[in-house]
Amino acid sequence: MAPSHSNPILLFIFIIQLFHFISTHPLNSLSPYEINQVRATILKNYPLHTHTLSIHYVGLDDPPKPTTESWITTTSKSPNPNPNPTRTAYMVVRINKTTHEITMDITNPLKSTPKILTDDIYHGNGYPILTVQEQEVASNVAQTYAPFVASVAKRGLNIQELVCLCFTVGWCGEKKKQGRIVKIMCYSMKGTVNFYMRPIEGLFVIVDLDDMKVIDFKDREIVPLPKSEGTDYRDTMLPSSSYGRIPTKGVTMIQPHGPSFDIDGHIVRWANWEFHLSFDARVGLILSTASIYDSQKQERRPVLYRGFISELFVPYMDVTEEWYNRAYFDAGEYGIGISVAPLQPKVDCPENAAFMDGYMTSHDGKPIKMPNVFCIFERYAGDIMWRHTEFSVPGRIITESRPELTLVVRMVTTVGNYDYIVDWEFFQSGVIKVEVGLTGVLEVKGTNYTYKDQVHEEIYGTLLAPNTIGTYHDHFMTFHLDLDVDGQDNSLVKSHLDIMAVKKHHSPRKSYWTVKSETAQRESDGRIHLGSKSAEILFVNPNKRTKLGNTIGYRLVPGPAIHPLLLEDDYPQLRAGFTKYSVMVTPYNKSEKWASGLFTDQSHGDDTLETWSLRDREIENKDIVLWYTMGIHHVTSQEDFPIMPTVSIGFELRPANFFETNPVLSIKSPKDIRWINCSMKTDKSI
């Protein structure tokens, strides 16, 4: 319903909202206005005076690809594109202890509430993402439970100085549903903000999230509490001595004429690249419709339709009672987007960075502004794009070199104790590099041991400090990469390098290697263990070729190969079966976005990327999706204590016969900046 024309302020607000809607990109995440409309519709159909209700996820239901592509094409040709591409919201709502999947048409802003399209009750295994608010309430419930309070006092601790957290319980073969429960375990923050280094072992509480009541409690044993000394990482708390503080000069990145990139809403344009950014509560940063302008063909060519971290699986190797179910699915259980950290200018991102905000929903469905969820900046670190020095020209030395200038899109998500720094970096050569940095603090275990020689049993980790064990664990990151290499219909080409013996003695050489390739026809052909025989993973458009007849493509350049080390029938591994392969390829299906399934909390592994791919669908010359899993086995060490220096892993998507020649041959070096009326002073202070 439109506001009354008699109130000019309301009319102005309405016009602004309407203009925002008309100019909305089909892949934009939901705006606060749309979130409020969705919430109003839910409350209208399920009023709070007769229903218990919590909203666990609200996001965009991806439009069909043709809708997006038509909108983009129309926009590029006309300043007045179709103002009403269909927009549908998808939400997961817990109503009267049942899980509802609801889709809603939010296309028409003139209606007072959107139209519900589907409202289905989910009866399968698993539960929705935990909300921040219900975790806080559950922790408070545990801390007011009389037996727990008594156990805390028995340990000589002050309950006011505890931090209690919700841990998902997973699934370990239980035949009967446990209900929506979490395990509450606590830490002492007396003397430090790094409470993770002071776990209270042997004590936990089980809370039912639907009823918000304690259903189980255990005080198994008293374990010494690790000391707080040396655990606080804040600069103001570090020793005043100069030990470890090596002075360095200041470094800056200044662009006096402004950045070379342009941000139009959620579309970013830089050099020859153009792409779209959106924010999602479950997976955080979503990068879409990445295309590159080919100056030789004088046309814009698609590369990546949609890319994001689909799941982040972190299983711990301690099998004792308080630890055996610590096998986290950070996206599906807690939400990578929900856990996103506001980026700090000049600290998390350089001073030449621009920032974007995002929005998510609260437990009751209200929009929550998430400031500075992304930063975008140009990086110049003295790297070389290409160069050559030629000494063989008589009487001359010829040197040509070009500096590398790239564009970075960054997000940081802090899921509990770990911070993940996610960078998407664009190169003018057509390369897309993805890097994830792991930092933050470890999840440690309290112990009686204070020295390694005292240990004569399996402790499932490394002794990092007195009474402190850093538990062994893994990080598996599964990326959803919907590559559309110069068009939608692509194929996966697997290649390996074969050693060949020289025949018929036509050469003094005895051997050489050559490339043997095969095109994957079905999903079973697209499951690849990297580190085995396959050496090249290529996505090609079999319908297009270069002038020389080579098939146009993009190559996956993976990081170090990693494979699960758990038994295949172990319950965490059953739930994360999609990590068995470094590479999986499936036909595009807009509902297959989240590798761990729609409802990950207490899932059984029966609705995952692995189970979808068992249908063994055709993937040759189809619209296909690459799923790439990378990660590390983290053998903890003392250098990880009390806070972990960043460890980075990543991969590249690199052109392979995509261009006719080197696309950056004609790139010129950035212009020199001449400073006028400026002087530099040397600061000798430390």
**Rounded-to-integer distance, Cα 632 and Cα 437, Å:** 11
- Cα 360 to Cα 22, 28, 60, 105, 613: the distances in Å are 21, 13, 11, 18, 31
Strand, helix or coil for residue 359: strand
CA pseudo-torsion sign 149, 150, 151, 156: positive
Using CA atoms in the order 238, 242, 243, 244, what is the torsion angle rounded to 10 degrees?
Answer: 80
Number of residues written out for the chain: 686
**Long-range contacts at 615-618 (CB < 8 A, ≥ 24 apart):** 615/523, 616/522, 616/523, 616/524, 617/522, 617/523, 617/586, 617/587, 618/521, 618/522, 618/587
CA triple 599-604-608, angle to 5 deg: 60
Instruction: Name the token pair of 605.
Output: 């592994």
What would the two tokens of residue 56 be?
Answer: 């666990």
Query: Is 330 one of the catalytic residues?
Result: yes
**Residue bearing tokens 């692509």:** 490
3-state SS, residue 153? helix
Cα(473)–Cα(125) distance, integer angstroms = 26
Print burial letters for 92-116: b (CB count within 10 Å at least 16), e (below 16): bbbbeeebbbbbbbbeebeeebbeb
Contact partners, residue 553, CB within 8 Å, separation at least 6: 485, 493, 538, 539, 540, 541, 655, 656, 657, 658
Q: Which of 33, 187, 305, 418 is catalytic?
A: 418
As a whole number of angstroms, the distance between CA 122 and CA 601 comes to 14
**Is 418 considered catalytic here?**
yes
Annotated catalytic residue within 330, 423, 482, 601: 330
Q: How many CB atoms lie within 10 A of CB 463?
A: 20
The H-assigned helical ranges of 422-494 are none
Q: Tell me the DSSP string of 96-120.
A: TTEEEEEEEE---TTSSS-EEEEEE
Main-chain dihedrals φ then ψ at residue 538, nearest 5 degrees: -125, 135
* Active site amino acids: 330, 418
